[in-house]
Structure 1
């Protein structure tokens, strides 16, 4: 298989194209999704807050149960620093790229005119959701937005983004802030930013997937884990609980009620978590000049990964790292603060509430 056309000729699009399309509208980006039942109903329910009118938008095909024969010659994709194990593999065509999720066996065709997912889709719904959201990210990146590894909340007038190393507490921080009824959820892990005026933030329709440590620290979230499992987790040492990877889906409308999601909002401030669990000093929030702190900027920047095709047609290179200059330009008029000292989510929430209080 040398081209996207060759791949498509080996697939059966009829079931997806016979289904009623549904559309997503996120800020300036629209997307049209074709997917057969019963997966279609599950995806529509998940994307509830993002559904909108976008009839002429690019189309994503979801093709459950299909596979390529023979398999292409896959090349492993380098993971971000600190990540281990095989996750993605790629096979470049003349005008497209095939991407394989190694663990699930899901395969994707990515090209300027086609976005298709095929394989065991019904067993890997989260992977399908991520692929759909990747098309939103790609459209924004080609339009000049920058991709940040960050969570965010907004009151509609100003937004606060929170970044940090993986496992640093950004999800816990944002969900603690969601206890304030004034605030709405923007993003849990991926945030697009663009220079203004005013500077803009754009989330993607991805509900938080959180670890047990986040759940145990917030009584509102306890129903996400049954009582017996909560008791087992509560007995773990603090360090083991903090580092435990056991993802649970948190659907915002089910936990916080309707009307608590807003994907597009003005961006006012960016907190970068550089605190530590073994520190004894108080939590301190300090304004910084991001250009002088490459360590903090590294925690904010996120590579678009193997799915991204640049405006000139070339795909993101294996191992390519983001260029700091566009991020500094996008965040030029955004207040950036370093959060240092000990991990104290209530102290951080107090500082954030002060921002929203004006």
Structure 2
């Protein structure tokens, strides 16, 4: 055990020596080893990440997950400010020992984040999604420390070329991404977080191993996804007004292998196109695709900009104090090297997916 980890575990009165169960996640250029005190948690994680490589190798990142019923320690917690449009307490934090301790107010989970030690403590089995997010946050930190810019976007690769989809809040980026997955040569890259970096003349897009989490409206309007819901639940949701269904926050995981078949995931791709959804739910017009210059349409770039969040720590060990967003120049540096479309008009996912796929096919002929 390293000295830093020993200091933290003593402070929190926990024992990592009981973490004898291991899970490995091999993300090509970054290897993550997860250790836990419960075999069931490892089984759940292996099942969740079953579509991603799980080979053992020398770890770049080690994470300890400790199933515990201890309450959060009594520290002078500060509330993490929510992003615009969101309310209610969600995260609180205190900085200590070259790291940050985060408390998930609603679930009681506690996480310690630093460049030296990473711990999750609490009812892990009841909060698998938060555990998955914590694991992914380590990879997200790794990428950002390697000069990747964080984007609020979904992405697929089609015939090896990456397409990113971004939208203002509730704009349907996941719904469109899953429509594009119907293409026979499409592969899933990412659902909600995408990381872009310059590689000579190309922009590389890297996703995180996080399955799409979608709302019922996305499921009901995509025949491939209907099996996620029981028939009775489908009928109940179909009776809701369209506006209410659109805004319903009730998440379901999409198991990519089960829905689309095996070998339908890419960890990364060369980015070719970005679709910025700026359409209007109230409009009856058909969606329109217009090629835009990011420099001249900077108001649209807000759709893809994203704060790294409370877990982000740079190479100097510094954390953010709130939901700060990377500089606009960082986004323009990558978006200026790819094709960017603004999507306006009314909302029609089937029409837009068909139009875009026909457009890209014509451009490659």
TM bucket normalised to smaller? over 0.9
Q: State the superposition RMSD in angstroms.
A: 1.6
Q: Is the 8 A contact 2:137 2:311 kept in 1?
A: yes
Larger displacement relative to structure 2 (221-230 or 137-146): 221-230
Residues 176-225 of structure 1: CA deviation (Å, up to 9, x unaligned): 11111210000111111112322100011101111110010012211111
Give the aligned partner of residue 33 of structure 2. 32
Please tell me whether residue 339 in structure 1 is matched to residue 340 in structure 2. no
Q: How is 1:93-172 mapped onto 2 (pairs within 5 angstroms)? A: 93-172=96-175
Structure 2 CA distance, aligned partners of 1:162 and 1:90?
32
* TM-score normalised by structure 1 residue count: 0.95
Structure 2 CA distance, aligned partners of 1:70 and 1:342?
50
Give the aligned partner of residue 71 of structure 1. 74
Structure 2 CA distance, aligned partners of 1:171 and 1:320?
24
SS at match of 1:131: helix
Structure 2 CA distance, aligned partners of 1:356 and 1:286?
13
Structure 2 CA distance, aligned partners of 1:31 and 1:226?
35
SS at match of 1:199: strand
Residues 134-162 of structure 1: CA deviation (Å, up to 9, x unaligned): 00000000010011000011035211000
Structure 2 CA distance, aligned partners of 1:174 and 1:69?
38
Please tell me whether residue 218 in structure 1 is matched to residue 222 in structure 2. yes
1:57 corresponds to which of 43, 57, 60: 60
Give the aligned partner of residue 279 of structure 1. 283
* TM-score normalised by structure 2 residue count: 0.93
Distance 1:69 1:127, change over 3 A: closer
**CA positional deviation for 1:5:** 4.6
Structure 2 CA distance, aligned partners of 1:300 and 1:70?
36
Q: What is the number of equivalent residue pairs in this alignment?
A: 354
Q: Is the 8 A contact 1:24 1:54 kept in 2?
A: no
SS at match of 1:86: coil
Q: Is the 8 A contact 1:195 1:332 kept in 2?
A: no
Structure 2 CA distance, aligned partners of 1:67 and 1:356?
54
Structure 1 CA distance, aligned partners of 2:59 and 2:185?
35
Structure 1 CA distance, aligned partners of 2:185 and 2:203?
21
Q: Is the 8 A contact 1:271 1:339 kept in 2?
A: yes
SS at match of 1:272: strand
Q: How is 1:150-299 mapped onto 2 (pairs within 5 angstroms)? A: 150-196=153-199, 197-299=201-303
Q: Is the 8 A contact 2:72 2:103 kept in 1?
A: no
